[in-house]
Amino acid sequence: KQEVTQIPAALSVPEGENLVLNCSFTDSAIYNLQWFRQDPGKGLTSLLLIQSSQREQTSGRLNASLDKSSGRSTLYIAASQPGDSATYLCAVFSGGYNKLIFGAGTRLAVHP
Amino acid sequence: NAGVTQTPKFRVLKTGQSMTLLCAQDMNHEYMYWYRQDPGMGLRLIHYSVGEGTTAKGEVPDGYNVSRLKKQNFLLGLESAAPSQTSVYFCASSPTGADYGYTFGSGTRLTVV
């Protein structure tokens, strides 16, 4: 059974710091991994999608890496800003399940 | 460019009442999904559909029914609402399951009293 774990559960940092959010999954047979952002009371916004054949994806200040063999992904946020405050969710799409399986998320607070 | 639209956005039901949540997508996506999100539980899949006229059970299907009569719409029904169904419900769609990412709606906040 595929399980997705995100560490840490919560993170508070001062503005300007570079930070790393971690995601691990138990079954390495995945098709892709997706990082989402969720603002309080809002829906999910897709940030980055990494196919199983890729090692990383970048979008602006965000960089996500994928290591299938070790069952890990990291989301790197450079030069954090208060506007980055949100919950970040990692989800994997596994063969045979036809669905995204989510981690519980990391709640990020960036203070001025 | 609407993407995925969910209606209603908020609803309060009494125990035993029924209701239908509507999800509509205008991206011609084949796959559609209903998730519920609860504090400390993350998002859990209720039902999903891989094309018009198809439906399948997810992790937590009990107490819910779905229909996909038209490709662009995916309906989630609660026949007899229970307080345990108080949650935020999200609909999502994707072109196929594996090769593309998911697009989510903004959610429906349901309270059953």
Per-residue model confidence as pLDDT tens digits over B3-33: 999 999 999 999 999 999 999 999 999 999 9
Which residues have C-beta within 8 Å of that of residue B1, sequence separation ≥ 6? Answer: none
Dist. CA A28–CA A73, nearest whole Å: 11
What is the per-residue pLDDT for B97? 64
Indicate whether A97 pLDDT > 60: no
Q: How far is A98 from chain B (nearest CA, A)?
A: 6
Indicate whether A105 pLDDT > 90: yes
Dist. CA A92–CA A36, nearest whole Å: 11
Residue A96 confidence class, pLDDT cut points 50, 70, 90: low
Indicate whether A93 pLDDT > 90: no
Q: Which two tokens stand for residue B75?
A: 């309906």
What is the per-residue pLDDT for A31? 85
A interface with B, Cβ–Cβ below 8 Å: 31-32, 34, 36, 41-46, 49, 51, 89, 91, 93, 95, 98-100, 102-105
Contact B42 A95 (CB under 8 A): no
Q: Please compute the mean of the pLDDT values over residues B46-59 and round it to a whole number.
A: 93
Give A32-66 pLDDT, tens digit per residue: 999 999 998 888 999 999 998 999 999 999 999 99
Residue A94 confidence class, pLDDT cut points 50, 70, 90: confident
Secondary structure class of A84 (helix, strand, coil): helix
Q: Which two tokens stand for residue B44?
A: 């859990």
Please tell me the least confidently modeled range out of A7-21, A81-95, B11-25, B92-106. B92-106
Q: Please compute the mean of the pLDDT values over residues B81-103 and round it to a whole number.
A: 89
Contact B41 A104 (CB under 8 A): yes
Contact A102 B43 (CB under 8 A): yes
Residues B58, B44: contact at Cβ < 8 Å? yes
Bond prior to A8 in cis (omega within 30° of 0): yes
Contact A99 B33 (CB under 8 A): yes
What is the per-residue pLDDT for A100? 84
Dist. CA B89–CA B76, nearest whole Å: 10
Out of A36, A43, A46, closest to residue B106 by CB: A43
Nearest CA in chain A to B107: A43
Out of B97, B99, B104, closest to residue A43 by CB: B104
